[in-house]
Amino acid sequence: MGWQNRFSIAGNSALVTGASSGIGAEIARVFVQAGARVIATGRSIERLEALRAEIGCEVIAADLGTTEGCEELVQETLARMPDIGILVNSAGVALVGPVLDYSPDDWDRTMAINLRAPFLLARGLAPPMIAAKSGKIINISSQTGVIALADHAAYASSKGGLNALTKSLMAEFAPHNIQVNAICPTVVMTEMGREIWSPPDKSGPMIAATPLGRFGEPVEIADMALYLSSPASDLVNGALMMAEGGYSSV
């Protein structure tokens, strides 16, 4: 197999969650550019329709904050893509705040979307991958799942749990030739990222602690997801791929 084929996902079928904006939308764009058939899912049907018009993907509106929403998404995905081979769990919420002021409702919603949904989607979409003896599951985690960051207790806990889930899924699915990995980015300058982190007084200390001296761009995470979805990464399994400019290494 030549290197072009090793890095190709042409003809593969993929579900990308959280694709109505940000990292998920960029992953959907890159996957379509790479020749994959993509179902993009998110909460905003208006944004999804705009993405469909832009790149030609399929779309499904879904609320991953509920068990029913996840199960309905699984059934609709399997109806459209019985041969699904790639799942990217990119949907997530960052409801940050001090522990002493944090509400149980925000904690539960964070866990539901950031941790329970990836579990339910992996459980529901793994059977056709197992039958085909081939599959890729990529979880978009965070550097906060590995290192500490103030005001991020719920978010960090959900991402730490997602990292553990990644390894557990790997252990169960590896005998079926399914690779499960997580990407752990720094702050990524999505629309939301720019809104929150553009002020120098907020971004300055974080950037100063990052050896590379900058935050990430959505396409950098999408390119890593593309690699993890391709045959070139077949030996990479259960990895937490740090994409954070060296922040956790110093």
Active site residues: 155
Nearest residue to 187 via CA among 65, 62, 96, 63: 96
Per the document, the length of the chain is 250
The residue type found at 201 is D
Which two tokens mark 89?
């769990």
Which two tokens mark 173?
């699915």
Nearest residue to 190 via CA among 123, 105, 94, 124: 94
Nearest residue to 16 via CA among 54, 66, 51: 51
